[in-house]
């Protein structure tokens, strides 16, 4: 076998790139056939020179826009200083990030990891250990309650409590210790809690399920119930948090605070993967040296960028923008309901457009929009998800709406 030193991609077309991916990359995604080579703000450009508006923002990891200069400046400066120390030594970005992020969350301690799934795994370990050490649950008996149609990541343990068979098929045996209740159903949660229940893990809005907003008052009732029964309320704000919903955290819409936040995606400014578990001293205090870790977790490059993300969020600028433009777009989108669009739901700049089954799958409309110069992604067959970078302007929102109207009206 002859091995080329590297692929010369300077003159390759989009189709040639896609062929390479088809042949050499595992087929664990079904992407729209667009090959991006550069991006700025809400716009991306493909290898064939065509421009598209990005209405997905990497599942909200790019909340602050592609090529955000403030974030890039911090990243560039940190690249020249130090990028990785491991936690075997301290670095001068970790302490400041933990302090600033804890304060942003109104919490006391932070455990940094890299991906969202790792943050969720860490939250599960936290809750279990808290259950044994603080709540007094008998060893090996801890139960965590999750919701139907949840999405919390892709590890073996996390898919153990997924209700989406396509995430699970062929990956067993699964991790025990989880129970599923219907999302938005407070009575079902009340009925499922027993003396060994350590946590309730929930998305304040279910993202991958199709931007499912729970009934008003649900999260407030969850808060009350969890406090009464001494169960940790874990809010997975990996996708809903950090500005997306028009507030720093989606859960603020009901004026409550969880016991544990899991954060990720936008925390790394679309530049570095960084995630975190944020909680109280009582809860995160269960970790002792050697009990958990990550080689890249808390690395100074990611921490420096995340510090800037926290600083940007502290101004409230993007939250306000998402709230205002979100309402503006929501009102316009609501006018699209008719033969093809059954329902539009969402909060802030995050929308699910429910496409009628009779109008065909949502992917068909995502492909039509791609031809119109706009990128968005279907989820769960009948839902189109819109989540533009929060830097989008009113003119750009109007531009996007015109395309949506053309395709969906």
Ligand X SMILES: *Cc1c(COP(=O)(O)O)cnc(C)c1O
Distance in Å, CB of 276 to ligand X, minimum: 12
Residue 60 or 391: which CB sits closer to ligand X?
A: 60
Distance (Å, rounded) from C-alpha 339 to C-alpha 346? 20
User: Is residue 406 annotated as part of the catalytic site, yes or no?
Assistant: no
Q: Is the dihedral of CA 121, 204, 29, 164 positive or negative?
A: positive
- The single residue of 64, 143, 178, 236 carrying the catalytic annotation is 236
The answer to the question of residue 100 lying near ligand X (CB under 6 A) is no
Place of tokens 């809005």: 205
Q: For residues 87 and 94, give the distance between their C-alpha atoms in angstroms, rounded to a whole number.
A: 10
265 a catalytic residue: yes
HSE value, Cβ hemisphere, 13 Å, CA-based, for 259:
25
Residue 152 sits in the site that holds ligand X (CB under 6 A): yes
Number of residues engaging ligand X in binding (CB under 6 A): 14
Q: Does 184 bind ligand X (CB under 6 A)?
A: no
CB 71, CB 61: distance < 8 Å: no
**Does residue 116 touch ligand X according to CB under 6 A?**
yes
Question: Could you say which of 54, 236, 378, 396 contacts ligand X (CB under 6 A)?
Answer: 236
320 is catalytic: no
Residues 389-408 that bind ligand X (CB under 6 A): none
CA 240 to CA 223: how far, in whole Å?
18
5-13, 24-32, 146-154, 170-178 -> range binding ligand X (CB under 6 A) = 146-154
Phi, psi for 265 (deg, rounded to 5): 40, -100
State the chain's maximal CA–CA distance in angstroms: 66
Helix (H, G, I), strand (E, B) or coil at 237: coil
Report if residue 385 touches ligand X, rule: CB under 6 A.
no
Out of 199, 211, 238, 349, the residue judged to bind ligand X by CB under 6 A: 238
DSSP 3-state of 123: helix
> Of 249, 259, 265, 351, which is the active-site residue?
265
CB nearer to ligand X: give 47 or 309: 309
d(CA 19, CA 29): 14
Residue 374: CB atoms within 10 Å = 22
Q: Does 120 bind ligand X (CB under 6 A)?
A: yes
Q: Which residue is nearest to ligand X (CB)?
A: 116
Verify binding: residue 348, ligand X, rule CB under 6 A.
no
- For the chain, the straight-line distance linking the first and the last C-alpha, in angstroms and rounded, comes to 54
Part of the chain binding ligand X (CB under 6 A), chosen from 219-227, 232-240, 335-343, 350-358: 232-240
Q: Which of residues 256-285 bind ligand X (CB under 6 A)?
A: 264
Catalytic residue positions, numbered:
151, 236, 265
Q: Where along the sequence are the contacts to ligand X (CB under 6 A)? A: 59, 115-117, 120, 151-153, 203, 207, 236, 238-239, 264
């Amino acid at each position: 076998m002859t091995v080329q030193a590297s692929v010369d991609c300077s003159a390759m077309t989009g189709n040639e790139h896609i062929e390479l991916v088809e042949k050499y990359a595992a087929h664990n995604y079904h992407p729209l056939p667009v090959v991006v080579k550069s991006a700025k703000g809400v716009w991306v450009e493909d290898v064939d020179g065509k421009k598209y508006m990005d209405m997905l923002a990497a599942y909200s990891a790019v909340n602050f826009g592609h090529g955000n200069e403030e974030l890039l400046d911090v990243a560039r400066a940190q690249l020249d200083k130090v990028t990785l120390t491991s936690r075997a030594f301290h670095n001068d970005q970790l302490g400041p990030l933990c302090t600033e992020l804890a304060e942003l969350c109104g919490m006391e301690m932070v455990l940094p990891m890299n991906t969202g799934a790792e943050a969720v795994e860490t939250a599960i370990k936290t809750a279990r250990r808290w259950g044994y050490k603080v709540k007094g649950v008998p060893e090996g008996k801890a139960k965590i309650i999750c919701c139907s149609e949840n999405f919390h990541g892709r590890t073996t343990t996390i898919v153990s409590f997924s209700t989406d068979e396509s995430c699970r098929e062929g990956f067993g045996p699964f991790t025990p210790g989880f129970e599923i209740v219907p999302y938005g159903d407070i009575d079902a949660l009340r009925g499922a809690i027993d003396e060994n229940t350590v946590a309730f893990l929930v998305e304040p809005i279910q993202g991958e399920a199709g931007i499912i907003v729970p009934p008003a008052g649900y999260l407030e009732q969850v808060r009350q119930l969890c406090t009464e029964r001494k169960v940790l309320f874990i809010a997975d704000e990996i996708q809903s948090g950090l500005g997306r919903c028009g507030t720093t955290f989606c859960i603020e819409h009901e004026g409550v605070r969880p016991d544990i936040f899991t954060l990720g995606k936008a925390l790394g400014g679309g530049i570095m993967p960084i995630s975190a578990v944020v909680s109280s001293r009582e809860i995160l205090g269960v970790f002792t040296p050697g009990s958990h870790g990550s080689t890249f977790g808390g690395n100074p490059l990611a921490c420096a960028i995340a510090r800037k993300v926290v600083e940007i969020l502290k101004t409230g600028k993007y939250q306000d923008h998402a709230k205002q433009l979100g309402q503006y777009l929501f009102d316009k989108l609501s006018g699209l309901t008719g033969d093809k669009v059954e329902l539009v739901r969402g909060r802030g700049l995050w929308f699910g457009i429910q496409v009628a089954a009779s109008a065909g799958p949502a992917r068909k409309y995502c492909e039509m929009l791609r031809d119109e110069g706009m990128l968005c992604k279907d989820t769960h067959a009948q839902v189109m998800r819109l989540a533009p970078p929060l830097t989008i302007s009113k003119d750009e929102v109007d531009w996007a709406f015109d395309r949506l109207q053309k395709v969906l009206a």
